[in-house]
Amino acid sequence: MANTEQFRTCPATGLKVHLPAERLIKANAVAAVLFLAIGGLFGLGVALTRWPAVHLLPADWFYLALTAHGLDVLVVWIIFFEVALLYFASAILLNSRLATPKMAWAAFALMLVGAAVTNVAVLQGTSSVMFTSYAPMQATPMYYAGIVLFAVGALIACFIFFGTLVVAKQERTYEGSIPLVTFGAMTAAIIAVFTIASGAIILIPTLLWSLGLVSHIDSLMYRTVFWAFGHSSQQINVAAHVSVWYAVGALVLGAKPLSEKVSRGAFLLYILFLQLASAHHLLVDPGISSEWKVFNTSYAIYLAVLGSMIHGMSVPGAMEAAQRRHGYTNGLFEWLRKAPWGNPAFSGMFLSVIFFGFLGGISGVVMGTEQINLIIHNTLYVPGHFHGTVVAGTTLAFMAITYLVVPLIFRKDLVLKGWARLQPYLFGIGAAGISLFMMGAGTLGVSRRHWDITFSDAPLPFDYPGAAFLMMGLNGIFAILASIGGIMFIVVIVGSILFGKPAGEQTFKELLFTGEASAVGKHGSEEHPKVPGTLALVAVFFVSFVLYYFVNWKYLSEIWPLR
């Protein structure tokens, strides 16, 4: 049994906070932000090199920076932050102690050492193999070893999360079912176990191969298993950032789910079907049957997409219902107009919902269509898509909740509040622009992971259309915008942690919903107010989705016939 001195009571939420868990959340969040800064910087280098008029880095540095960018932001930043979220959603939300804090520190150390080792391997210049490290291109053993260490640490963290759920249940620290956000975090953790197992299955043999102990790694086998790791890890992010959406809605607006059943059912669809997405990367690879492609790429009849479309209604719906209960009942959109747009937690979260749905979501389904992938595979459309999901979606959502983590966990008031207010807009619009213009360039055929689209050193002449150069320039400009937003985020967060005044009543009032929660507490399911504004938003989304889907079939029908 944990002794009571290890807990404090949160003045804002009334939750019992386990202090060892709190320290671990802080450590993981700080490591996350550190790697966001490093990875973001590499990303700026990449974007400025791909802007033909600037063409900043030489070729070897470009491929090095692109490898480091992918690793540090796609893997290290996001997973450190997710570990912090797992500890928060288990120990803190359930009023429980964290299972085995010492193991959690060991996991933290493994992840930190692993990330450092891989970064050093990349910076030495001998492992510019991209985040995907496709065999038979080979990195140094250190590169793979670092990733394996990092993954082992992350796996331990997942099991500490599951252990904490067991502890909380046995010690009866909560009544009834676990909260929705904890359920979402559990979804992420389950997918993470599958993901990390796939990663081990592919990266351990590859490590042995780079050491000379295994003679051959088949490239098709590598891609198939790698993407069971690589794509599934993006599905961890989806489950995690949807949980963050619900959490921010609850903390900032006092929102509660329209229906627990629907929201949890949608998470369940993620657990059952999201892992099939390895297929998205194999749609134009040789030797794979169309039956396999069609079934897997659609997550079995688009059932995981169904999950996301459900969240796409229930997240804004929950917020609309809350706002209407608070008296913003005029017209379709008063609830949205009068939302706290100056609160960076809210604005970041809401922009994340919109961008993830319209940019990342729609493009993902379209490019994951078996035949349409022919006009998209490995073009810049692909990074365009995942900057919509992982940057404008996940990263922005994580930034948003960080504005609440600082007062609640670090117990500090924000510094530079004007910067904080502006930051989600700059970063969000920057990231959305990056996503949009890369997709535009990709539609025009421009290759991803390419140092020089003018082909000045190539033996044969070729020019992409002029519009592609415009797209790359716009991409560079929006990357600068996103970078300014990223730097502001880091300055505000690090500044607040180091120099912020202790958080007080006033801090919570500025950032959190402080109304009477119990007055709205008993509504549920059918009794919630009608949400016509959300229905209108969902209708706009659906029409855009259908139109864009058919536009791409039209593009496909114009290429050379092939069979």
Partner 1 sequence: MALTPPDQALWWKRPLSRAELGWITIAFLWGLFMFFFMIYWHGAGKQNLSNEAYRISAEKFTARTQAMVDKYKVRDYETKQGVKIPVVHPPAGEDVYLIGRLWQWWPILELEKDQSYRLHISSLDWLHGFSLQPVNINIEIHPGYEIVLTVTPDTSGEFTIVCNEYCGIGHHTMLGKIFVVEQ
Ranges within 32-91 binding partner 1 (CB under 8 A)? 59-60, 63
Interatomic CA distance for residues 237 and 417, integer angstroms: 28
Instruction: State the nearest-atom distance from the C-beta of 403 to partner 1, in Å.
Output: 16
Closest CA to 180 of 249, 236, 275: 249
Which of 251, 390, 438, 511 lies at the binding interface for partner 1 (CB under 8 A)? 251
Closest CA to 510 of 301, 366, 340, 386: 340
Total interface residues for partner 1 by CB under 8 A: 112
Q: Which stretch binds partner 1 (CB under 8 A): 25-33, 367-375, 478-486, 496-504?
A: 367-375
What track of x and - describes contact with partner 1 for positions 398 through 417 (by CB under 8 A)?
--------------------
Note whether 365 binds partner 1 by CB under 8 A: yes
Within residues 166-205, the interface with partner 1 by CB under 8 A covers: 174-181
370 versus 510: smaller Cβ distance to partner 1: 370
Which of 2, 6, 134, 480 lies at the binding interface for partner 1 (CB under 8 A)? 134
Within residues 207-226, the interface with partner 1 by CB under 8 A covers: 218-220, 223
What track of x and - describes contact with partner 1 for positions 315 through 354 (by CB under 8 A)?
--xx------------------------------------
Residue 404, classed as helix, strand or coil, is helix
Interatomic CA distance for residues 538 and 320, integer angstroms: 13
Q: How many CA atoms lie within 13 A of 371 on its CB side?
A: 14
341 versus 545: smaller Cβ distance to partner 1: 545
Contacts 24+ apart (CB under 8 A), 474-478: 474/433, 474/437, 475/47, 475/50, 475/51, 475/433, 475/434, 475/437, 475/438, 475/441, 476/47, 476/48, 476/50, 476/51, 476/54, 477/433, 478/429, 478/430, 478/431, 478/432, 478/433, 478/434, 478/437
Interatomic CA distance for residues 220 and 342, integer angstroms: 49
Note whether 465 binds partner 1 by CB under 8 A: yes
Q: Which stretch binds partner 1 (CB under 8 A): 69-77, 193-201, 290-298, 497-505?
A: 290-298
Instruction: State the nearest-atom distance from the C-beta of 399 to partner 1, in Å.
Output: 19
Instruction: State the nearest-atom distance from the C-beta of 256 to partner 1, in Å.
Output: 5
Quick one: tokens of 535? 């229905």
Which of 113, 208, 332, 374 lies at the binding interface for partner 1 (CB under 8 A)? 374
Q: Which stretch binds partner 1 (CB under 8 A): 190-198, 203-211, 456-464, 484-492?
A: 456-464
DSSP string across 541-558: HHHHHHHHHHHHHHHHHT
448 Cβ partners below 8 Å, 6+ apart?
A: 378, 379, 380, 382, 383, 442
- In one-letter notation, the amino acid at residue 125 is G
Which of 502, 504, 515, 524 lies at the binding interface for partner 1 (CB under 8 A)? 524
- CB-count exposure of residue 125 (10 Å: 0-12, 13-18, 19+): exposed
DSSP 8-state code for residue 175: -
Which of 55, 326, 417, 450 lies at the binding interface for partner 1 (CB under 8 A)? 450
Which of 16, 231, 385, 528 lies at the binding interface for partner 1 (CB under 8 A)? 528
Within residues 544-563, the interface with partner 1 by CB under 8 A covers: 545-546, 549, 553, 555-557, 559-563
What track of x and - describes contact with partner 1 for positions 5 through 24 (by CB under 8 A)?
--------x-----------
Instruction: State the nearest-atom distance from the C-beta of 280 to partner 1, in Å.
Output: 12
Which of 1, 102, 170, 461 lies at the binding interface for partner 1 (CB under 8 A)? 461
Instruction: State the nearest-atom distance from the C-beta of 485 to partner 1, in Å.
Output: 27
Interatomic CA distance for residues 357 and 314, integer angstroms: 13
Question: Helices marked H in 388-454 — which ranges?
Answer: 396-408, 417-443
Which of 93, 157, 408, 438 lies at the binding interface for partner 1 (CB under 8 A)? 93
Which of 30, 197, 200, 303 lies at the binding interface for partner 1 (CB under 8 A)? 303
